[in-house]
Copies of this chain bind each other. A is one copy, B any other.
């Protein structure tokens, strides 16, 4: 809990939290057993971001198999307003009934009919290592900010530049 408040006060964490706050579906990319990259959608959480990302997934999902083989993942947030976020992090499969209860909403009932105690619920935590953020306008995409080691509490490397950065 100490960590939580520490992270929330970091300007980088706050900024990233604002960027992803209203994006309802994120895409998680994992590496499969045959070394291919695969993405799938995840419902995002409504609570405040404090430096880690949390999701509820199914214990029987392909993601669980992939993460057990390779925990280095990426999560992207594409907002209808033209903002694009890439988060590089380490995935962790967590067992924590209190955390599940805190994240639970009725939207999950359809997939986990037994509710927040459904034994098929798997908590997924992403320990954020770095993040980048782009803004797109009529005809171009600019990279706005790049954070490194965002969730590690150490000194962050922050690059901010107004140069256009399409497809770079």
* Interface residue ranges, A against B (CB under 8 Å): 24-25, 27, 29, 31, 35-43, 55-58, 60-63, 72-74, 76, 78, 80, 82, 84, 86, 88, 106-108, 110-111, 129, 132, 134, 136, 139-141, 164, 166-168
In the complex, the answer to whether A139 meets B107 with C-beta atoms within 8 Å is yes
Question: Are B167 and A140 interface neighbours, CB within 8 A?
Answer: no
Complex CA distance for A106 and B140, rounded to whole angstroms: 11
A130 to chain B, nearest CB (A): 8
CA distance A98 to B29 in the complex (A): 33
Bound-state CA distance A74–B35 (Å) is 11
- CB of B31 within 8 A of CB of A134, answer no
Residues of B within 8 A of A40 (CB): 86, 132, 134, 167-168
| A36 engages B86 (CB within 8 Å) | no
CB distance from A144 to the nearest CB of B (A): 12
The answer for the CA separation of A76 and B61 in the assembled complex, in Å, is 19
Contact B110 A140 (CB under 8 A): yes
Query: A146 to nearest B CB, angstroms?
Result: 11
Closest to A132 in B: B40
When C-beta atoms are compared, the residue in chain B nearest to A32 turns out to be B88
